[in-house]
Structure 1
Amino acid sequence: MTVKKRAKALTGTVAGVMLFSVLAGCGGNSGSKAEPSGSSGASGNEAEKQVKLRMIESLTSPDRTTYLKEMLAKFESQNPNIKVELISPPFDQADNKIKTMLAAKQDLDVLEVRDLTVAEFVNNGYIEPLGEYVASWAEYNTITDVSKSVGSLDDKLYFIPNGMYQRQLFYRADWFKDAGLTPPTNYEELVESAIKLTDPNKNRYGFSFRGGSGANAVPDAIIQNYNFDHIDHEDPNFLNDGKTMFSTPEAKQALELYVKLFKEGSPKDSINWGFSEQVQAFTSGVTAMLLQDPDTIPSLKEKMDISTVGTAPMPKGPSGKSFVFAGGAGWGVTSYSPNKDAAFKLIQFLSGAEENTAFAKATGLVPIHTSASEDPFFQDAMYKSLLEMGGKPDEYVNLKANTKYPGTGKWGQVAMETGQAMLLGSASIDDTLKKWDEYWAKERENYNAK
């Protein structure tokens, strides 16, 4: 999912969004109530008239949208003067739909902003800074620091995350046991296991590959981990010497491994798979391993015998360590909304500890409030690898993805198209890395020229 840097990488005992670290250590008034919308400093006239808010989500799925509508109905029952129209485009089209609406200044008050899109939205003046609004919201004090950081750019808060994302490995424990394999601890072992578990004659493959929308997540992670000792923690697509991470011999080794994973351990049609397809392949018994965020957990519990599923920490690189990322999406206000007070009142409701924790449970996210760490729900075995990574910050080193570059939102499309060409053999690994290197070098050049 994880965006381009607005605050410094989290260090010390804070190890990303894993439950152990994200939900611990931030004090505050967890039982306090949100202030009324007029307390934000605006006129408060909206509370005296009927207001219709238009809201759009980005990370859509049928179950998520159903639950969100239930939350909105509850909000409307508590605020009879405010009605909310929810727009829920298909996941693969949602971000483009949002960008089109924003560019045309179509009626829109509340929108789902992603760590991948915040820089572009801010750069174009589409979204409102929320600092004035949260200043008088008591529950903001119990939101974790990492959640606040993900919602910020250049030290200004632009969205309240609705949950946090952190990848881990899900694997078919029964397949591994039958094959006499143990869960992989690094990327080489992951590829080896994927190949050993692949049997096309049985329609079984080792890895749920994602070559469509969002395809850049795995190659980016492997390349970063193969360059582990030289990554600039303040700008993690770059090295300490200023070059991009795609410019090194280690990047080529990493991408060779990635191509091998596709060709020898993954279904051939997975070159076009997005999130839904890769999860469906895992839950339907086609694939043995899946690298995904905790929002996958509800689908696994619903569609599989959960006793057959194991979890493991993210694979490590040759250094014996692994970078992990805190990422998220959440609710922001359009800069041109005529109903900003009412819009933020809705965000307060959705983002309060009670509603956010319930939303996190329903959608498989890590909640944003410290009080959620006490909930037995998050002691589930499906979260244990997140806890393990959080407890080993020296091995699983948190990087805050740098969201400052406007081109971050376009990178997924560029990486997908050029990556597919490479996987199909119409472009070489060297040529692909050259394109990726040039893309990010140009992004930094343009950013520094501002």
Structure 2
Amino acid sequence: MGTMARGRMQLLLSLLFISAIAVGCSAKDNQSARSNQAADNKPGSGVEAASGAAEDNVRLRMMESLTNPQRTGILKQLIAQFEQENPAIHVELISPPFDQADATIETMLATKQDLDVIEIREINVADYVNKHYVEPLDAYTAGWQDYATVQQIPLTVGSVNGKLYFLANGLYERQLYYRKDWFEKANISPPSTWEELYEAAVKLTDPAHNQYGFAFRGAKGSNGTFDAMIRTYNGQEINLTDGAFLTSGATIYSTQQAEEALTLYKNLYKDASPQESVYWGFEEHVKSFTSGQTAMLLQDSDVIQTLQSSMKPGTWATVPMPKGPSGKSLITVGAAGWGIPSASDHKAEAWKLIAFLSSPENNIKFGKAYGLVPIHTTAAADPFFTIGPYKTLIDMTNDPDTYLYYQTPIKYPGNNEWSKVSTALEQEMLLGKATVQQTLANWDAYWKEQQRLMQGK
């Protein structure tokens, strides 16, 4: 199926899902609280920012984006607890299929349908703000007693132009997972740099026994690796507030350091990865690690539970993201979280639900159950996150001088297409149809055009 056909099919499925949601749903309760009204609630929840009293029997419609059965079950448990503590508020959780969720949410926002709490992602928050779909949360967080322990990174990820539009429910941070038993048998230390990673991967590769050093991912999502390498090799020259560009204004793909990084990336595939991995996505490259085919895996923290359930204890461990020649590593985080649609008639009650879900107790509970890094600094004192595979993530967060956090270029119109565009060009390079230099030139041209579009030239 072609790209346009897939797009039309996705839109059709989203519209059908929206129609199904609408069937049987009653009209909004016109007596329920408006956006300038606040629910009766405990001191410190932040809804004191609004005035007035909430009406009884409010129905909140909440839609998640990163849907899967395990995660939905965790949310339902937390919502049931919220409803028990707030009997006048009923929450209807809507869980679209994952591959339709974002399109469904955007369509409902565009048509001002009945939604009160939505899951927003770092990849679409700027677009939602530009289209005036979502409400700033700053007036609510100003009176929220738990705001003081929220880390800076989730606040940065959820903000656009200095205003907070979603409160993350957890952070998707990347680290290196490695086969501890393989490394010990080969008497190799776990790598701390990209060059060391390549050298270790080559040493651990034995094609005759279907054993390879690296769980390569050449298909969808591959830019998570080659972009990380290119940024890290550019080091402190990166514009940390605009991650596709250097402080000079040039793109990150225009430098000699970018050529060194992409050459190493190509060699990592050629010398230490299964040849078919040029076509691997998320599931394939994770499975190659859990099945014992590959020795190293770069992934977010949500794979930890998969590894724990499918691998023997003591056979694997984690280390921080590799550093580049400058001794720095450029890192970012993925995040999704809760926001309030501008068209909601129940903003105060919606915030009350968000504050409940985002409390240190419930946010940490959600993180433990689903394998995410919590947003509160108090998680650093919890043994669950200070011992074992999560410790590496906390260590990186606590060392901002070495692990430099950058913001992804979400404000550019072509950012959402970057993964698809860059992967197609990357695969051509890996298959010998383009050189490293030609690939970088194409990527450089892409982002120069994005820059031109933003500047209106």
Instruction: Quickly name the TM-score band, shorter chain normalised.
Output: 0.7 to 0.9
CA shift, 1:210, in A, is 2.3
* Cα offset, 1:402, TM superposition: 4.5
Q: Is the 8 A contact 1:53 1:339 kept in 2?
A: no
Instruction: Give, in whole Å, the separation in 2 of the partners of 1:272 and 1:86.
Output: 36
Is the contact between residue 278 and residue 427 of structure 2 (CA under 8 Å) also seen in structure 1? yes
Deviation at 1:159, TM superposition (A): 0.4
Instruction: Report deviation, 1:38.
Output: 5.5
Within a 5 Å distance, the mapping from 1:175-190 to structure 2 comes to: 175-190=182-197
In the TM superposition, what whole-angstrom CA distance separates every residue of 1:56-81 from its partner, at most 9, and x where no partner exists? 222x3432222122222222333334
CA contact (8 A) 1:232 1:238 kept: yes
- List per-residue Cα deviations over 1:236-271 (Å, max 9, x = no partner): 321222110111222122112212222332234433
Query: Is 1:41 matched with 2:46?
Result: no
8 Å Cα contact 2:45-2:355 kept in structure 1:
no
**Unmatched 5+ stretches in structure 2:** 1-40
Aligned to 1:78: 85
1:435 aligns with 2:442: yes
**Residues of 1 paired with 2:48 and 2:399: CA distance?**
42
Q: Using the alignment, how far apart are the partners of 2:432 and 2:253 within structure 1?
A: 19
C-alpha displacement at 1:174, in angstroms?
0.6
User: Aligned-pair distance for 1:214?
Assistant: 2.2
In structure 2, what is the equivalent of residue 420 of structure 1? Answer: 427
Over 3 Å counting, the alpha-carbon distance change for 1:83 and 1:287 in structure 2 is farther
User: What is the Cα-based RMSD across aligned positions, in Å?
Assistant: 2.6
Partner of residue 135, structure 2? 128
Change in 2 beyond 3 A, CA 1:313/1:81? same
1:395 to 402, 417, 422: 402
Displacement of 1:160 after TM fit? Answer: 0.4
Q: 1:276 to 1:88 in 2, by over 3 A?
A: farther
Letter in 2 for 1:153: V
SS state at 1:381 partner:
coil
Change (3 A) 1:202 1:67: farther
Residue aligning to 1:359: 366
CA contact (8 A) 1:150 1:328 kept: yes
Matched positions, count: 417
C-alpha distance in structure 1 between counterparts of 2:48 and 2:183, whole Å? 56
User: Paired residue for 1:173, among 167, 180, 188?
Assistant: 180
Structure 1 position 100, deviation (Å): 4.1
Q: Is the 8 A contact 1:356 1:367 kept in 2?
A: yes
The one-letter code of the counterpart of 1:41 is: A
1:245-260 to structure 2, matched below 5 A, reads 245-260=252-267
Matches within 5 A, 1:190-339: 190-339=197-346
Q: Does structure 1 conserve the Cα–Cα contact (< 8 Å) formed by 2:117 and 2:340?
A: yes
Contact 1:44 1:341 in 2 (8 A): no
Deviation string for 1:370-404 (max 9, x for gaps)?
22222222121213333443454433333344443
Counterparts in 2 of 1:21-60, with a 5 A limit? 35=44, 39-41=48-50, 44-45=53-54, 47-58=55-66, 60=67
Give the whole-Å Cα distance in 2 for the aligned partners of 1:210 and 1:133.
41
Runs of at least 4 residues off by over 6 Å: none
Q: Which moved further from structure 2: 234-243 or 320-329? A: 320-329
Other structure's SS at 2:213 match: strand
Is 1:378 aligned to residue 385 of structure 2?
yes
Contact 1:349 1:355 (8 Å CA) reproduced: yes
Aligned partners of 1:42 and 1:341 also within 8 Å = no
Per-residue CA distance 1:83-124 (angstroms, 9 max, x = gap)? 333343454554344344434444433222222221122122
Structure 1 stretch 174-183 or stretch 413-422: which is displaced more? 413-422
| Counterpart-to-counterpart distance in 1, 2:272 and 2:70 | 31
One-letter amino acid of the counterpart of residue 386, structure 1 = L
**SS at structure 2 position matched to 1:53:** strand
Q: Relative contact order, CA 8 A, sep 6+: which one is greater? A: 1
**Quick one: distance in 1 between partners of 2:432 and 2:110?**
37
Percent of aligned pairs with the same residue?
A: 49
Distance in structure 2 (CA, Å) of the matches to 1:405 and 1:264: 35
Structure 2 distance, partners of 1:89, 1:426, is 39
1: CA distance between counterparts of 2:400 and 2:347?
40
Q: Contact 1:34–1:348 at 8 Å: present in 2 too?
A: no
Give, in whole Å, the separation in 2 of the partners of 1:91 and 1:423.
Answer: 30
Where does structure 1 lack aligned partners over 5 or more consecutive residues? Answer: 1-31
Alignment check: 8 A CA contact 1:153 1:403 kept: no
SS at match of 2:416: helix
**Is this contact kept in 1: 2:60–2:350, CA < 8 A?**
no
Report the Cα offset of residue 161 of structure 1.
0.9
Change (3 A) 1:196 1:104: farther
Q: Which has the larger radius of gyration?
A: 2
Alignment correspondent of 1:5: none
SS in 2 for 1:207: coil
User: Secondary structure at the residue paired with 1:166?
Assistant: strand
User: Counterpart of 1:48 in 2: which secondary structure?
Assistant: coil
> For 1:412-440, what per-residue CA distance to the aligned partner results, in whole angstroms no more than 9, with x for missing partners?
23223332333333443333222321222
Q: How does 1:55-70 map to 2 (within 5 A)?
A: 55-58=63-66, 60-70=67-77
What letter matches 2:69 in structure 1? P
8 Å contact kept, 2:364–2:379: yes
User: Which one is further off, 273-282 or 351-360?
Assistant: 273-282
Letter in 1 for 2:57: K
- Residue type of the partner of 2:48? S
Alpha-carbon distance in structure 1 between the residues aligned to 2:274 and 2:104? 30
Deviations 1:305-354 (A, max 9, x none): 13111211211112232222244221112222233233222211111111
Q: Among 121, 126, 129, which residue is 1:119 paired with? A: 126
